[in-house]
Amino acid sequence: MSFRTSGPSHPLILDDVRGAQKMLAGVARMTAMEGSRHLTGLVGAPVHLKCENLQRTGSFKLRGAYVRIAGLRPEERAAGVVAASAGNHAQGVALASSLLGVRSTVFMPVGAPLPKVAATREYGAEVVLHGTVVDETLAAAEAYARETGAVFIHPFDHPDIIAGQGTVGLEILEQCPEVRTIVVGIGGGGLAAGIAVAVKAIRPDVKVVGVQAAASAAYPPSLAAGHPVAIDPAPTMADGIKVGRPGDVPFALVQELVDEIRTVSEDELSSALLLCMERAKLVVEPAGASPVAALLSDPGAFRGPVVAVLSGGNVDPVLLQRILRHGMAAAGRYLSLRLRLPDRPGALAALLGSLSVADANVLDVSHVRTDPRLGLTEVEVELHLETKGPEHCLEVREALREEGYRVIS
């Protein structure tokens, strides 16, 4: 699904982004641009992946955080900085502060993944765990700023943050000067806005497409209303772009300069993450894989060459395991079945033999004997199988039916 954008003049210019690029020299890496043969085949034009998942701290967030903190006055630096984040912004602020010799305090939700909490501490921040949702964490950080005088570093709603993120756009034009479409995930809007400022000033013909998770897409209703609108975002695996309200500063930029906003489903996000791992050998978080999800959902809609921005790679291993399983199921590579067997010796062995002939790999088997719906001589078996795709799933089901098995679901 897509939504057109239009709007008023914007508050940043190309010189702001170029100034940020000079400030970031020797701090942020110029991340790699990798071609994707698989996506190129789907889209019918060259597709390149801008690998911000390989940036220092694992995401683009270092760029904006460093520019924002470096621009503070001496007395502001002396007061320290404070931020609220469940992951990427926390790490970006922590490292930027350490590099600039500024004391940082980062509020994180109590349930934040342990690897992200540990990384934020290792980058030099004092971490305070507070609240169970980001809104509570944000309120605590803002209260801390009022009480102590520390400067609150917003994750996206500040011109310096946006200018820093816009350096990704300058790198894209340098690495892929023939680019015609840039696809980028969008939460609060800082990255998409910054890229659009840089790219549209130099190459107004390049189309910039923002991508949101359908479950938490605040930009479509905001653009329809003509101003930022708050929503109650539903749960999504793409927590990096789960934002309930666009920022005022990035909204104005997105409204004028971003050509289109698309939304993607949870299945499309998990399939995109799986593709990045299998085909590109890149670990990408769901929010970072959202541009790839958009390409997969409607490959014919993008004029090439296309650059998809992989904005981050900080994904909790436990969550990654669940997402990969979800992605494989969405791709038809997992099959769950329930069927009835006679409760006698050898019945399960015969079933497993039939699955072996059908070339389905058994991952898990469970028996149920106490269901009142079962006959006295029946047992229900639940199977989790690894398959080769949707067609193979159908073949397995048909092979079992031909063998006389009663497949319930």
Q: Is 111 helix (H, G, I), strand (E, B) or coil?
A: coil
Q: For residues 391 and 393, give the distance between their C-alpha atoms in angstroms, rounded to a whole number.
A: 5
**Of the listed 50, 61, 116, 242, which one is catalytic?**
61
Q: How far apart are CA 408 and CA 406, in angstroms?
A: 6
User: Of 85, 222, 270, 311, which residue is the catalytic one?
Assistant: 311
Listed in sequence order, the DSSP H helices in 313-386 are 317-330, 347-357
Could you identify the residue written with the tokens 């939504």?
3
Sequence-separated (6 or more) residues with CB below 8 Å from residue 45: 302, 303, 304, 305, 306
Sequence-ordered list of residues with C-beta below 8 angstroms from that of 368, at least 6 positions apart, any chain: 374, 379, 380, 381, 382
What is the phi/psi pair of residue 354, to 5°? -65, -40
311 is catalytic: yes
What is the helix (H) or strand (E) element at residue 407, kind and residue range? Answer: strand 406-407
d(CA 148, CA 141): 10
Cα(156)–Cα(125) distance, rounded to whole angstroms? 19
User: Going along 154-297, which residue ranges are E strands?
Assistant: 181-185, 207-213, 260-264
Q: What is the DSSP letter of 59?
A: B
Contacts 24+ apart (CB under 8 A), 234-239: 236/266, 236/269, 236/286, 237/213, 237/266, 237/269, 237/270, 237/286, 237/319, 237/323, 237/326, 238/185, 238/213, 238/269, 238/285, 238/286, 238/287, 238/289, 238/290, 239/86, 239/87, 239/286, 239/287
Q: Identify whether the C-beta of residue 219 lies closer than 8 Å to the C-beta of residue 3.
A: yes
Cα-trace Rg, the chain: 24
* Strand, coil or helix: 239: helix
* CA 161 to centroid of chain Cα atoms: 19
Strands 47-51 and 33-35 turn out to be antiparallel
For residue 98, indicate whether it is catalytic. Answer: no
Residues annotated as catalytic are 61, 311
